Amino acid sequence: MCSLPLLDFKLIFGGIAKIGMKIDRKNERLVALVVISGVLLLFCVVTGSLAFELRKQLRYQVIGRDGETLMAVASAEVDDVRELNDGIFEAGADEELFEVALNTSDITGVIGVRVYTKGNSFLGGIPISLKRGQLTSADESLLDLKTPISKFYSDFRMEDIFLLIDDEGEAGSSFAVSEITIPLFSLSDDQVYGYAQYFIDGHDLAIELDRLDNNVLTYAGGALLLGAFLGGGILYWAFRRLRQVNDLLEDRTKHLISANHKLSMEARTAAIGAITSHLIHGLKSPLQGIRQFVTAQGQDEKENYAETVWQDAAETTERMQNLINEVIEVLQDRGGEFSYKISCSEIASLVEERVKHHAQTSGVSLKIEDSVGEVSTLPNDRANLVVLILVNLLRNAIDASSRGESVVLHIESVGQRLEFLVIDHGAGLSDDIAERIFQPIVSSKVDGSGVGLSLCQELSRHLDGELTLEKTGPQGTVFKLTLTSTS
């Protein structure tokens, strides 16, 4: 029941890891490039739209500025003309409107004026060669509201408004012209009596508008570059941070999967350990009885063949009894009150004593290479566990070797660490078995239980050590047990 939550966590974190690994580095850079390019393009569009709208508003204000000024001048002129001609013209008479237009035509830059009555009838133009014109109803409505109408033409042709052109060279040529239409009203009674349409030389205005466009373009370009630099930099930094967080998440996910796997392994190993302890307790007494019976029967037999069979059976039961006694001894040492040191040479001797018979029976040469000797020691409880691990590794190495080959136990000291190498020259492990060699119920032997190496690795963890498969192949297999020594 305890293993089910562990399995759920493994599935969850495994799924997260798989999703995170679907996008490799190349695709991450491509996605980042697309997103940054899209954001910068959108920023360019927004900045360009705002700059265009700002340019439009500024041009409208600059062009309309002269209309407001001219309307104020014309209104003051209406009052002046009315005062000079008091009693001669009626208020708003055609003569009065024409005289106002004539007087204001002297303003610098004015090249022509059209005069209209309140009913939008063309009265005349100054100079006389000015063509007739007509206001639209929309323009007339705005003018009645005392709103001047200003327009700018950058390529205006003179023949469009004049009947005769004095200088033939001016025919067909274009000029910058500002067209301003204002209402004619008196400041005293605030009543609109007519309209005046002025055509003014737009050379200076064209220069001002060009300067305005250049300023808007410069500021907009600067804002665009600055925004693109800052925005691109922020997005690049954000993507880098996101990738770092993603890498950290993947790393922690892998650690969580590994930790969950270890917990699952420990749970299984603990269960196996409990079962093993139960089996040892249950087998000890019956096995002792079998051993005594086989020994007694072997002594009663007279024939050589029967004697040999009973002798093999007695040796087998004796080895089984010794194995059980070894496990009981280790358990007693780990729970005992007394502690003593065991050197590496003593560990090598204990291991050699326990696997020597198996090596001889299998026709395999056992070699001990101890370069540490008495220098490094281990407490007895730790040393007994090391012996169990090495005996199991050497038995596996002997089983994997052919007759005439050799198995080596090499012991060396590296700094504060002890390294025990078990080397055989067998056929090696398959890739599938090598990847799962320390998992429970995984074995390369036909009749193997798959428990030994898993228990060995668990024992190495209890010793704060590490058991690893260093290499395997056609030239043989090497297992390494690494521990912290006590010098």
CA-CA distance, 195 to 123, in Å (whole number)? 10
423 located within any domain: yes
Domain that holds residue 128: 48-215
CA-CA distance, 481 to 8, in Å (whole number)? 32
Over residues 139-154, the pLDDT tens digits come to 999 999 999 999 999 8
224 located within any domain: no
104 located within any domain: yes
CA-CA distance, 178 to 62, in Å (whole number)? 11
- DSSP notation for 11-68: HHHHHHHHHHHSS-HHHHHHHHHHHHHHHHHHHHHHHHHHHHHHHHHHHHHHHHHHHH
Which one has a higher pLDDT value, 368 or 297?
368
The two tokens of residue 28 are 């991450």
The average pLDDT across 449-473 equals: 82
Are 423 and 325 part of one and the same domain?
no
What's the pTM? 0.45
354 located within any domain: yes
Domain count, the chain: 3
Over residues 384-407, the pLDDT tens digits come to 888 889 998 999 899 889 999 999
Are 326 and 457 part of one and the same domain?
no
CATH of the domain at 344: 3.30.565.10
Are 143 and 159 part of one and the same domain?
yes
Contact 362, 398 (CB under 8 A): yes
Are 400 and 312 part of one and the same domain?
no
Over residues 229-245, the pLDDT tens digits come to 887 788 888 878 888 88
The average pLDDT across 29-52 equals: 83
Angle at 471 between CA 470 and CA 474, to 5 degrees: 160
> How confident is residue 16, by pLDDT bands cut at 50, 70 and 90?
very low
Are 332 and 342 part of one and the same domain?
no
Who contacts 484 (Cβ-Cβ below 8 Å, separation ≥6)?
Answer: 416, 417, 418, 464, 465
Q: Sign of torsion, CA 80 82 86 88?
A: positive
Are 184 and 309 part of one and the same domain?
no
Amino acid in position 352: E
Over residues 407-452, the pLDDT tens digits come to 999 999 888 888 999 999 988 888 888 888 887 655 655 555 556 7
251 located within any domain: no
282 located within any domain: no
Over residues 148-192, the pLDDT tens digits come to 999 999 888 888 888 865 555 455 678 899 999 999 998 888 889
Which one has a higher pLDDT value, 4 or 250?
250
Are 391 and 314 part of one and the same domain?
no
Are 315 and 349 part of one and the same domain?
no
Instruction: Report whether pLDDT(63) > 50.
Output: yes
CATH of the domain at 145: 3.30.450.20
Are 322 and 348 part of one and the same domain?
no
In this structure, how many other beta carbons lie within 10 angstroms of the beta carbon of residue 411? 22
CA 136 from chain centre, in angstroms, equals 63
Who contacts 127 (Cβ-Cβ below 8 Å, separation ≥6)?
Answer: 112
CA-CA distance, 452 to 460, in Å (whole number)? 12
Look at residues 104, 128, 124 and name the one whose alpha carbon lies nearest to residue 115. Answer: 124
For strands 466-473 and 417-424, give the pairing. Answer: unpaired
Given 215, 232, 259, the domain boundary residue is 215
Given 282, 309, 336, the domain boundary residue is 336
pLDDT, residue 480, reads 94
CA-CA distance, 280 to 482, in Å (whole number)? 28
CA-CA distance, 386 to 463, in Å (whole number)? 8
419 located within any domain: yes
Are 329 and 455 part of one and the same domain?
no
CA-CA distance, 66 to 69, in Å (whole number)? 5
Are 317 and 405 part of one and the same domain?
no
68 located within any domain: yes
The average pLDDT across 259-288 equals: 61
pLDDT, residue 463, reads 82
Look at residues 93, 67, 68, 88 and name the one whose alpha carbon lies nearest to residue 78. Answer: 93
Given 278, 310, 336, the domain boundary residue is 336
Q: How far is CA 103 from CA 78, 126, 129, 201, 469, in A?
A: 10, 10, 18, 18, 110
Contact 114, 103 (CB under 8 A): no
Amino acid in position 160: D
Are 58 and 125 part of one and the same domain?
yes
